[in-house]
Amino acid sequence: MSLAPPPPVSTNPVFRLVDDLRREVRAGDFPPGHKRFSVARTKRFAQYPLPLLLDMYERYGPVFTLRVFHGNVVFMLGPEANHYVTVSHADNFRWREGHMGELIPLLGDGLLTIDGDFHRRSRKAMLPVFHRERIAKSAETIFEEARVAVDDLPGSGRFDLYHWTRRLALRIAMRALFGLDPDRAGRGFDAARAFEDALAFYSRDYFLQIARGPGSPWRRMHKARAALDRLILEEIARRRTTGERGDDLLSLLLDTRDDDGHALDDAHVRDEVMTLLFAGHDTTTSTVSFLFHELSHNPDVRERLEEELDAAGALGAEHLDGSALPYLEMTIDETLRKYPPAWIGPRRSVHSFTFAGVQVPGDAFVNYCSWASHHLPHVFADPAAFRPERFEPEARAKLPKGAYVPFGGGSRTCIGMRFGQAEVRAIAALLARRLRLAVPADYRLRIRQMPTIGPRDGLPVDVTRRERTTAPARAAA
């Protein structure tokens, strides 16, 4: 890549705290809201932010300030706000200097943590990797992995759907991204394990994340990162030396050229691979878990979905196109409305601006939030209800611009959207066709919010094998 990567950012928690406070004082007046530090509010936000954000919206409208941990954060909620931040005024917001920057110690300078020209050129170079035809090729891998995993499930008893899906999503990512088998001893297996170890850091409590001593989560994350880096960089070197290529995304990244015909260098490929693994793994896992949680509590929806799947004939990779199973698609859309895994879009404003008549300073943390926006009753009536019919084509067409943003928007819309959707479709279709999954009556869903929203305690499900359908999944036993 001919452009130099952006300068490094400090990871010293004391420096960051002082720098944030200094910049906040310089920024000037913040929009109305709760601007005094409060341990109770910070805890409430860290545990379950949705009710707090909706309450703030009621009191202050679509733009307000909330002091979380040590700093003021401006929240912008609702269709207009989402559109403003992601599309119409996207250039006035930086990702690297917002809370996405906290991912730099693990991800480096990949798409999630860069801005401006470096981002534009990186994204352009990577887009071919996610073209429809490429995803169609990955669909075979996705479908095959999901089929084998579903075939292996027992027809009765209890298992943890969240952990099962997480392992499957990592297998799919390892194969589709690296062309490696994560179950076979060797690179694939070690990389999957090291990745999970490194990722564990981001689900720890804030106060544990800023500790730096021996044995701290920070040190453990760095140890896992070093192991992962060795594996990824060795694999890159091996592919460059042997010229070996496959249908996996790493092969495509190695051959990608930017506008000036330059290949991505090794460090850049490493950072993008890590970013894709990170961004694509927990998002799909959470979507599948929330989907089955809702099916378990909404028998009418489950029955209609089962009917569609039974009528579909033999399931195959061609069903991973969004139009093949329309009710499944609406069910997934509604799951992503109620539980958008990447629930917050953290930014920092460049210049001050006025939104909905309220002045917001420059150099301030500004977040849009799909989760809260998807729960505004004047946009989605009875928002707590799970109703796939909201996404019937006519109803969907009536949604205001910016109302539904589970994949973000504008020039930085989720680059892995098609890949993630294909994965969720495959896993959901094969599972729902074969098995009935019921969440135990005494299970209470508690949602954790970092790094994406997901079930805090996993998702136990009781399994019953559905009656053999007349048209079993192709290639299934």
**Residue numbers at the binding site for ligand HEM (CB under 6 A):** 86, 111-112, 123, 275-276, 279-280, 283-284, 287, 336, 340-342, 345, 406-408, 412, 414-416, 419-420, 424
Exposed/middle/buried for residue 330 (C-beta within 10 Å: 0-12, 13-18, 19+):
buried
CA distance 418 to 134: 10
Q: Residue 284 or residue 296: which is nearer to ligand HEM going by CB?
A: 284
Task: Provide the minimum distance between the beta carbon of 249 and ligand HEM in the complex, in angstroms, as a whole number.
Answer: 8
Q: In the complex, what is the shortest distance from the CB of residue 262 to ligand HEM, in angstroms, rounded to a whole number?
A: 19
Minimum CB separation of residue 82 from ligand HEM in Å reads: 9
Angle at 105 between CA 99 and CA 108, to 5 degrees: 90
Q: Smallest gap, in angstroms, from Cβ of residue 25 to ligand HEM?
A: 26
Nearer to ligand HEM, 188 or 420 (CB): 420
Task: Provide the β-strand partners of residue 346.
Answer: 367
d(CA 101, CA 198): 16
Closer residue to ligand HEM (CB): 365 or 407 = 407
For ligand HEM, the closer CB: 62 or 406: 406
Nearer to ligand HEM, 340 or 451 (CB): 340
Of 149 and 415, nearer to ligand HEM (C-beta) is: 415
> Can you give the C-alpha Rg of the chain in angstroms?
22
Shortest distance (Å) from residue 424 CB to ligand HEM: 6
**Which residue has the closest beta carbon to ligand HEM?**
416
Q: Which is nearer to ligand HEM, 60 or 95 (CB)?
A: 95
CB of 241 to ligand HEM, least distance (A): 26
Q: What's the token pair of residue 260?
A: 């000036």
Query: 394 to each of 330, 340, 391, 402, how far by Cα in Å?
Result: 12, 22, 8, 17
- Sign for the CA dihedral angle at 122, 127, 128, 130 comes to positive
The H or E element spanning position 85 is: none
CB of 347 to ligand HEM, least distance (A): 7
How far apart, in whole angstroms, are the C-alpha atoms of residue 82 and residue 455? 25
Rounded CA-CA distance 281/289 in Å is 13
- Whole-angstrom Cα distance, residue 217 to residue 52? 28
